[in-house]
Structure 1
Amino acid sequence: MYDSPVGKIKISASNDGIFEIEFTDSDLIEDPRLEYFISQLDEYFYGDRKAFSVKFDIRGSDFQKRVYEIVSQIPFGEVMTYSDIAIMLGNKHLSRSVGNALAKNPLMIVIPCHRVVRADGIGGYAGGVWRKRWLLSHERRWTNPG
């Protein structure tokens, strides 16, 4: 469990890597395999880390994994729309499917689905829209300090 500025985060790992990150309200037992990743989360929240360098065990359908791969390439502090991702997948009509895939994102923050917004607004976020706004604001602050 990790206490972040946006609430408690449950982190689950297998021997193949981290496979789930989710917001929670419960207290959970710490897993010693997660110490290195937790230090990277600290660095992210302090504005010192823009990308994560730990092993992940990404789970999901082939489509979800394609969406997660694209979203993982969105630079720190930048955003893309659901439509942008649908077009990158080769079908501009997949925006809703992209949103559904991101709603099941097993690695919040690391697969930065908070960086995906609607063309006409912020859009949803499985961790809560207030957290999405906070994360986007946090990244903008560290991308454009001053």
Structure 2
Amino acid sequence: MKAAGDTGGYKSHNGFRDPFTYLFDESIVKNYSGTLVVLTRVLTPIGPLIAGATEEGLCLLEFAEHPQLKTRINRLCKEIHCVVTPGENAHIGRIQHELDQYFSGKRIDFDVPLIVPGTDFQRKVWEELQRIPYGETRSYEGIARAIDNPKAFRAVGRANGNNRIPIVIPCHRVVRADGTLGGYGGERWRKRFLLDLEGQPGFN
């Protein structure tokens, strides 16, 4: 397991800007009047996350090591017509606090407002994920049945994989019907850690 202080390949906790320099065009940000997403690093016991938020809510909480992180940030910008810049706002501060509580066992639900662009199907899946109680799991087939599309369990898996706000939208609580762990964009060891934290040990 990686240490809590793991920097996800960056030299410092404040140095995540360097790999994303092309995203941070200060001349555009300075004169931009549209949606602005501030990005910052959030340290957790399972490694650093990159959190992003608009003035309306949290729109990104990706593992810093995610191989598609840059692509997913670009896609988010296209979907909500935004530009990104390093920084923090009230929603970033709130998710930092709520994650601290979650990992210390003092929080089971998240209250930070979310901005979740996606297809109608994806949004149905993500809403259903948020209905899975802390300490419980569901199968991909179970989620498909819950959204009245029982044959779409593979599409449920793809929607899970496209979730940009893991932990808060708890895709880690979806496992295979045979009781095995299944996949996870943040790597399987993190999924196992989160389920163990929530009192669901024993998944392989």
Q: TM-score, normalised by structure 2?
A: 0.65
Determine the structure 2 residue equivalent to 1:144: none
C-alpha separation between the residues in 2 aligned to 1:35 and 1:87?
36
| Counterpart residue identity of residue 21, structure 1 | L
Indicate if the aligned counterparts of 1:17 and 1:57 stay in contact, CA closer than 8 A.
yes
Say whether residues 1:124 and 2:164 are aligned partners: no
Of 80, 101, 112, the residue aligned with 2:138 is 80
Aligned partner of 2:49 in structure 1 is 9
Gaps of 5+ in 2: 1-40, 67-84
Partner of 1:107: 165
Count of matched residue positions in the alignment of Structure 1 and Structure 2 = 140
Instruction: Name stretches of at least 5 consecutive residues in structure 1 with no aligned partner.
Output: 142-146
Residue pairs, 1:51-70, within 5 angstroms: 51-70=109-128
Which segments of structure 1 move beyond 2 Å, counting only runs of 4 or more? none
3-state SS of 1:102 partner: helix
Higher relative contact order (CA 8 A, sep 6+): 1
Amino acid at match of 2:47: G
SS in 2 for 1:40: helix
Which aligned pairs between 1:24-43 and structure 2 lie closer than 5 A?
24-25=64-65, 29-33=86-90, 34-43=92-101
> Cα RMSD between the aligned structures?
1.7
Q: Report if the CA contact (8 A) 1:114-1:136 is conserved.
A: yes
Question: Per-residue displacement from partner, 1:10-55 (whole Å, max 9, x unpaired)?
Answer: 00001221011100049x9551331122111100000000001111
Identity of aligned residues (%): 40
Q: Larger C-alpha radius of gyration, 1 or 2? A: 2
* Contact 2:53–2:89 (8 Å) recurs in 1: no
Q: Distance in 1 between matches of 2:95 and 2:167?
A: 12
TM-score (norm 1): 0.91
Maintained 8 Å contact 1:64/1:101: yes
1-structure distance, mates of 2:42, 2:87? 8
